[in-house]
């Protein structure tokens, strides 16, 4: 994505004097402060200039503020700003794409969570936000999805943007004809401003990001990572438990193939005095690369077979589904793993009062339905938090802070 220069057009309703209206551009550009944002010539490598704008190359100031011929509207036009932050332009987000959990540090996480909290207020407001009016998101999903795809599309629409979608790109896009991922990305970026992609191959998101000139968000790449799920998971833990340092988390289920637990482990390593318990059948144990990473970061971890013992110790029991689609033809191994660890009311009895049960969903039978009525069942609140995190990420990638 681009360097320090930017080219944006902000359109404001004129409620008072020009000076007053301009002042309303400052700070975060959402709610009803700015009625529309139009991006001109955006790319990861440069911002293209427009004949409509003049700029003094020796100055980093605004060159002019021009009255629109349309009544009741002012156009605040920004042209190339080098090595300085104008009060009229949001600070650029530190990331060009969201590909893996290792991209984030604690400071960025805290700031994203603050924006997500603001997005919750926007979602609950009676007035509709238009901050992403004029922007298009393409959702390119090569694997099935309900929560991730719909929450991203909802996030875009709730901020005034539009969505182009392919629900099953593996079957119903030109990939079925043999088109390469790179060619698909080059084509789709011509129609959109940001791409949210789920793919069946680990590493596909990195490949897409290296190809695209617009932001790419990894919505899951095979057994690789699912960084936005991890973000909403950590956000949920913070909201439910009230802290992230000094917590104990039990990761349960398919830890070998579960991209959600891999990404979550990377993020939990950012915090102090965290201990992680791995509870899984032998055929789907957590892979060594995650264990080695946690050890390198000074994070305590332990492999356990007794779910009841772990549940009694933990602040968070993070249950996952045994993923049949990752076993190929080895259905015997799937059947061997399935049903070994189930969160039910007996598990709830040993859990601490403040602890929560989380799950990235969908669930099969690994959490019994009667657990839903317990206030410690946080998985549907967790899914709702995904909307706020994804609203925040889309806003940050397209508009900055």
Smallest CA-to-CA distance from 137 within 152, 150, 124 is with 152
- In whole angstroms, give the CA distance from residue 54 to residue 291: 55
Q: Which residues of 10-27 are buried (b: 16+ CB within 10 A; e: fewer)?
A: bbbeeeeeeeebbebbee
Q: How many CA atoms lie within 13 A of 206 on its CB side?
A: 10
| Cβ partners under 8 Å of residue 152, min gap 6 | 137, 139, 196, 217, 219, 390, 394
* Helix intervals (H) in 38-196: 106-124, 147-158, 169-172, 181-188
- In whole angstroms, give the CA distance from residue 342 to residue 231: 25
Q: Which residues are catalytic?
A: 147-148, 177, 198, 226
**Residue 328, both tokens:** 């190929």
Strand pairing class (216-221; 194-199): parallel
Q: Look up tokens 């000094």; give the residue.
A: 246
72: left (phi over 0), alpha (psi -120 to 50) or beta: left
DSSP state of 123: H
């Amino acid at each position: 994505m681009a360097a320090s220069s930017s080219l944006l057009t902000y359109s404001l309703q004129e409620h008072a004097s020009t000076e007053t209206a301009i002042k309303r551009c400052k700070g975060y550009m959402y709610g009803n402060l700015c009625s529309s944002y139009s991006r001109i010539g955006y790319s990861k490598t440069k911002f293209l200039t427009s004949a409509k704008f003049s700029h003094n190359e020796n100055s980093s100031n605004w060159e002019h503020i021009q009255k629109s011929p349309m009544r009741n509207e002012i156009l605040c036009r920004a042209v190339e700003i080098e090595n300085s932050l104008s009060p009229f332009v949001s600070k650029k987000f530190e990331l060009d794409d969201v590909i893996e959990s290792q991209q984030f540090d604690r400071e960025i996480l805290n700031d994203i969570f603050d924006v997500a909290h603001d997005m919750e207020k926007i979602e609950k407001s009676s007035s509709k936000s238009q901050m992403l009016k004029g922007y298009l998101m393409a959702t390119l999903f090569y694997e099935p999805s309900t929560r991730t795809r719909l929450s991203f599309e909802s996030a875009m629409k709730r901020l005034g943007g539009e969505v182009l979608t392919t629900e099953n790109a593996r079957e119903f896009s030109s990939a079925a004809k043999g088109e390469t991922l790179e060619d698909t990305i080059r084509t789709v970026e011509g129609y959109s401003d940001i791409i949210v992609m789920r793919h069946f191959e680990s590493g596909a998101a990195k490949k897409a990001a290296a190809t695209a000139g617009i932001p790419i968000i990894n919505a899951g790449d095979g057994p690789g990572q699912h960084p936005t799920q991890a973000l909403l998971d950590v956000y949920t833990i913070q909201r439910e438990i009230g802290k992230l340092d000094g917590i104990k988390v039990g990761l349960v289920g398919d830890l070998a193939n579960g991209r959600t637990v891999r990404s979550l482990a990377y993020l939990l390593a950012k915090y102090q005095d965290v201990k992680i318990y791995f509870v899984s059948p032998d055929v789907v144990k957590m892979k060594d690369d995650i264990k080695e990473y946690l050890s390198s970061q000074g994070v305590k971890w332990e492999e356990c077979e007794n779910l009841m013992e772990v549940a009694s110790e933990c602040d968070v029991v993070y249950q996952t589904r045994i993923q049949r689609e990752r076993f190929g033809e080895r259905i015997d191994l799937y059947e061997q793993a399935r049903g070994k660890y189930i969160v039910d009311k007996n598990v709830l009895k040993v859990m601490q009062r403040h602890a929560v049960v989380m799950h990235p969903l969908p669930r099969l039978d690994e959490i019994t339905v009667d657990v839903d009525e317990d206030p410690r069942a946080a998985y549907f609140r967790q899914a709702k938090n995904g909307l706020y995190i994804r609203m925040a990420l889309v806003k940050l990638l397209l508009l900055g802070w």
